[in-house]
Amino acid sequence: LNTSIVTAEMIKYAANAFLALKISYINEVANLCEALGADVHQVAKAMGKDGRISPKFLHPGPGFGGSCFPKDTQAFATLSRENELTMNTIEAAIKANQYQKDRMVKKMKHLVGGHFKDKKISILGLAFKPNTDDVRDSASIDMINAIKKGGGSVRAYDPIANEMMNDIIDDIKFFESWEEACLDADGVAIMTEWNEFRSPDFENIKEQLNEALILDGRNLYDPLLLKDLGFTYYGIGRGT
């Protein structure tokens, strides 16, 4: 496509903001599914079969981050306000995304007894998505800061993003494996869907943890399997 500079920039903002809108939308659908006892994975799968919608970016999670979506949605919203317009859908997506991050914190707090004071929480996954060390606007940042503010401590592990997170938050403990990060922790939060987290040795995890508590922020695991193994498990939008 050959366009003007202004149109080219609008294409970039419009595309990224639309994908961010899809993420915020499915996260809100997931929260309602959770309240009603529905399964958001089945809902998203059925929605994705509609060619007008497509299945991409219909995966619930702890909120989008990274270098593009947060920046571009904010820029798009600001640009509209500067021109005396309001992009209500984009403003709502931004608010819904922050709400999702805050909701993950509340879930983790509830999971460990209603407070973080003196709790040791294992955070598995620091990057905003797998296969990158980019931690900008990662939902893990909100989770870590809330735990620290609440008087708890963090044991963190990411396959490649430890160093990048250490540049942002340096007073937490970083480890070189998930096993080390889980050792003596009072609960674990899965924040990034790295492949090595998809099929872990759950019995090993259970042995490492002080309490068998898992917040699955990426819906990687089968809730019934985890419960059968003796875990207290919270996912997103799956009636748990």
Active site residues: 68
The residues facing 155 across adjacent strands are: 122, 173
The residues facing 234 across adjacent strands are: 215
Strand-by-strand arrangement of the 173-174 sheet: 173-174, 153-157, 120-124, 187-190, 213-216, 232-234
Short-list 214, 165, 222, 149, CA closest to 185: 214
Residue type, 44: A
The answer to whether 66 and 141 are in contact (CB under 8 A) is no
Q: Are strands 232-234 and 187-190 parallel, antiparallel or unpaired?
A: unpaired
Q: What is the SS3 assignment for 58-113?
A: CCCCCCCCCCCHHHHHHHHHHHHHHCCCCCHHHHHHHHHHHHHHHHHHHHHHHHCC
Q: Are strands 187-190 and 153-157 parallel, antiparallel or unpaired?
A: unpaired
What angle is formed at CA 146 by the lines to CA 142 and CA 148, rounded to 5 degrees? 120
The answer to whether 187 and 211 are in contact (CB under 8 A) is yes
